[in-house]
Amino acid sequence: MKYEIAYRLWLKKDGQFLLSEGRAKLLKLIKEFGSLSKAADEMNMSYRHAWGAIKKIEETLGTKIIYSERGGQEGGTSKLTPEGEDLLEQYEIQKSLFDQQLKMLYKRPALATDGIVIIDEKILLVRRGRDPFKGKYALPGGIVEYGETVERCVVREIKEETGIDAKILQLIGIYSDPERDPRGHFISVVFHLHRVGGELKAGDDASAVKLFEIDRLPELAFDHRRIVEDFLTMKGISN
């Protein structure tokens, strides 16, 4: 399952609501069809509702944004005034700029860590309490916070999710496939750690914590099966 971000952008004047995506679409359709009635029909909106939206914009803006001509076979026309054209243009410019900035921010890879902890020859896994992969088992880990090192992050996440204190033994690898996480591009730095204290107890977004035999692993979330297999190969352990 792929996820995407959505938002609504408002244009205001002196703190008063002026234009949003819905009203901007109405203006675009009036410009396209030359008719307020046809624009309203296209949006499955009553003529009265559409006219009311236009009047509210004009009251806030303090000027006319459409002018109408009656008569003819089509029953008259409606066109945007120069002020209406300018308002629509300003909204579309601002939305385009915001879209570009949000796209750049949202599409930057996120940095995460995962930890492999072996206790009594068993591997420590957590059952995810949230989507994606809610209910599936995974390696403990999470997103690196601003100003935090990956080493500190993996130790913190293991403590928060499993209740144990851990110390890093070795870097296992970096996993950066853009398709590894349905939420977007997440790069994970994976470490091998050993337990130095604490008691096993599920916490944070983990609904359960459990030790599994290496050769009896459940279905794992994300690409964690591959990560475990890489770890076992590195250590010369057969599963």
3 in a domain, yes or no? no
Whether residue 81 has pLDDT greater than 70: yes
Rounded average pLDDT over 58-77 = 78
5 in a domain, yes or no? no
Q: How many Å apart are CA 177 and CA 181, to the nearest integer?
A: 8
The reported pLDDT for the residue numbered 236 is: 81
> Beta-carbon neighbour count of residue 178 at 10 Å?
11
The reported pLDDT for the residue numbered 72 is: 45
Q: What is the pTM of this model?
A: 0.60
The reported pLDDT for the residue numbered 100 is: 76
Shared domain check, 114 and 80: no
Domain span at 53: 11-106
CATH assignment of the domain containing 43 = 1.10.10.10
* pLDDT tens digits along 156-197: 999 999 999 999 999 999 999 999 999 888 999 999 999 999
Shared domain check, 51 and 163: no
The reported pLDDT for the residue numbered 207 is: 84
Q: Within the chain, how many helices (H) and strands (E) appear? A: 6, 11
16 in a domain, yes or no? yes
Whether residue 5 has pLDDT greater than 70: no
The reported pLDDT for the residue numbered 73 is: 46
Closest CA to 137 of 148, 129, 147, 126: 126
* pLDDT tens digits along 116-151: 999 999 999 999 988 899 999 999 999 999 999 999
> Beta-carbon neighbour count of residue 133 at 10 Å?
18
Residues 6+ away with beta carbon under 8 Å from 20 = 8, 9, 10, 11
Domain boundary among 77, 106, 135: 106
Say whether 150 sits in a helix, a strand or coil.
Answer: helix
The tokens of 127 are what? 């059952």
Shared domain check, 101 and 114: no
Residue, of 12 and 102, whose pLDDT is higher: 12
The CA dihedral of 29, 97, 60, 17, to the nearest 10 degrees, is 100
Whether residue 64 has pLDDT greater than 50: yes
What backbone torsions phi and psi does residue 224 show, to the nearest 5 degrees? -70, -25
Residues 6+ away with beta carbon under 8 Å from 69 = 76, 77, 78
Shared domain check, 56 and 18: yes
CATH assignment of the domain containing 193 = 3.90.79.10
Shared domain check, 135 and 115: yes
Rounded average pLDDT over 34-55 = 93
Q: How many Å apart are CA 119 and CA 196, to the nearest integer?
A: 10
Q: For the chain, what percent of residues have pLDDT higher than 90?
A: 69
Residue, of 70 and 149, whose pLDDT is higher: 149
